[in-house]
Chains A and B, each alone.
Chain A
């Protein structure tokens, strides 16, 4: 077995270990059933209350958002929010738990690549996330009668899969800093807030001031959520969103390389200062 093959096996073992631990707390999964439905549904109802379903108001919304489907717009945005939260927290939380529990050193004395504990546990967030998307899709259909065509759903799935590396890389960038700073939750909260504000999660990017829109289009979530809405709500095909996907994948690669560099630097620094065993 080559070193790379052994590390890939270790990578999936790390994800499996996280999933096994999650399974031991089944009540955590109850949240998957409620929050993806309750919050976006209340925003949709609030939107309807503001517009009174007036065609003029809906037309104004469509001008900015590209669709009159308020429920679809909100649910896709909220799905993005859930996904972003999950990946931003996933790797960092797992690494932090290892640090606090005292198992980080045990992992670090093995010959597995350091990238295994950095990238591996985040995979475990993908399965609950996929379940969340299914729950939201069913809620959108049952509560608001919105059923995108199957072809659009499959294309949206492709956009999601291609978007995973970008969000994953952002999550691991924050996870890397756990080695130096320990608790990075406040920074993650701040960044998540910035994404929600700037990336068109709950309202169209067009509503932002011009300078903020420039920043918005430097962030992968802006592209991903925009592409999902175009595919699901406006009937766009994959070819039409391909340029965005290419940009997202490029940003993903750069962010992942940055995360690896930061992690390596901080790991060496922690081995000098003794921070590995402190928290």
Chain B
């Protein structure tokens, strides 16, 4: 039987919110801090060799989940197995098999060269001395940084630093790589470049677990995606299957100018499509509608607006994305 790369059951992490002063502690005052469930019962199975994405907005619990897998946080309750090993009882064994890129460029030593950074971490990862040089050359080549290996990291671009952080994660030759927001802060070209590197990891037979709040990234890169919100998984499947769940072929964004109550126009629109989201700002109503065919819906939308005294100012028709799935299951946009 194949062992899952990652398996969690009813994983919970509770943090205390607010502060308790030393004075309160000395006086033994009751602890009135809020308990906040950052991760609230996550069940997850990541199969070997897949790219699995945790997609969700900031604060959804993605990074907390990742840190528990990487032994940096102790769960409040629940169980975890990483490559079949319990990180609570055998953390060093998990760390030896795990390549982690968690805090990106900040986690590097900027006053050292790329190669010096890797030499240090090779020792921390217990890479045998005889293999260190070749291993470093391999990971540098894998992230296409071999020609800049002897430059100080402070002279690297953000994208190069992210790639170096990825190279560091590959030093132990890990079967499982966890990447926390690997492309955050990168320009489109650097993001594409890093995504290519991640695809290569899969081609090498490694399992990749990544977090992202970029829906395009999850869509393009991941074999399966878990959409996470408020510490819970609200949907989990392949990107294509997730998109099919909203039963729409197209998404229409409308901007409608109106003076009075927006309810009548929304009700009229809802007769021809699913109104996933509506938000009024000053005199403009922004509507996101999921429909089978924009060709049929858009004329109906103009009729609806006209009949309620409103004016459609802007229409945009886009294909269904994971953003729409998130909207459908949470009622909120990913960026909110």
Contact = CB atoms under 8 A, between A and B. Distances in A.
Given A1-B126, A108-B72, A109-B98, 8 more contacts: A13-B123, A13-B124, A108-B71, A109-B102, A111-B92, A111-B96, A112-B125, A268-B74
A178 interface: no
Contact of A271 (B73, B93, B102, B165): B73
Nearest to B107: A106
A112 B116 contact: no
Given A24-B111, A109-B102, A9 B15 contact: no
Contacts of B93: 111
B108 A109 contact: no
A10 B124 contact: yes
Interface in B62-104: 64, 67, 70-74, 92-93, 95-96, 98, 100, 102-103
B120 A106 contact: no
Q: Which 6 A-B pairs have the closest CB atoms?
A: A102-B106, A13-B123, A106-B107, A110-B124, A6-B126, A111-B96
19 contacts: A6-B126, A9-B129, A13-B119, A13-B120, A13-B124, A14-B124, A17-B112, A20-B111, A21-B111, A24-B111, A103-B108, A106-B100, A106-B165, A108-B71, A116-B124, A271-B73, A274-B15, A277-B72, A277-B103
Contacts of B106: 101-103
Nearest to B171: A110
A9 B103 CA distance: 25
B129 A106 contact: no
Given A20-B116, A273-B15, A274-B15, A112 B107 contact: no
Contact of B128 (A1, A7, A24, A111): A1
B214 to A, nearest CB: 21
Nearest to B99: A109
Interface in A8-27: 9-10, 12-14, 16-17, 20-21, 24-25
Given A9-B129, A20-B116, A274-B15, A110 B121 contact: yes
A272 B74 contact: yes
Contacts, number: 105
Nearest to A104: B107
A105 interface: yes
B168 interface: yes
B125 to A, nearest CB: 5
A14 B125 CA distance: 12
Contacts of B67: 105, 274, 277
Interface of B: 15-16, 64, 67, 70-74, 92-93, 95-96, 98, 100, 102-103, 106-109, 111-112, 116, 119-121, 123-126, 128-129, 152, 165, 168, 172
Contacts of A102: 103, 106-107
B128 A109 contact: no
- The range of chain A's interface size is 20 to 34
Contact of A110 (B16, B108, B125): B125
A274 B16 CA distance: 10
Interface of A: 1, 3, 6-7, 9-10, 12-14, 16-17, 20-21, 24-25, 101-103, 105-112, 116, 268, 271-274, 276-277
B109 A17 contact: yes
A204 to B, nearest CB: 38
A105 B102 CA distance: 8
B102 A111 contact: no
A9 B109 contact: no
A161 B92 CA distance: 33
A114 to B, nearest CB: 10
Contacts of A7: 126
Max chain B Cβ within 10 angstroms of own Cβ: one of A25, A102, A268: A102
Nearest to A22: B111
A17 B168 contact: no
A273 B16 contact: yes
A271 B74 contact: yes
A207 to B, nearest CB: 36
Given A21-B111, A111-B95, A273-B16, A16 B74 contact: no
Nearest to B117: A17
B76 to A, nearest CB: 8
A103 B116 contact: no
A10 B95 contact: no
A10 B123 contact: yes
Nearest to B105: A102
Contacts of B16: 273
Given A13-B123, A111-B126, A272-B74, A106 B103 contact: yes
A56 to B, nearest CB: 53
B205 to A, nearest CB: 21
B260 to A, nearest CB: 49
A275 to B, nearest CB: 10
A14 B119 CA distance: 10
A16 B126 CA distance: 16
A17 B116 contact: yes
Contact of B72 (A9, A116, A276): A276
B2 to A, nearest CB: 24
B168 A106 contact: yes
A111 B279 CA distance: 50
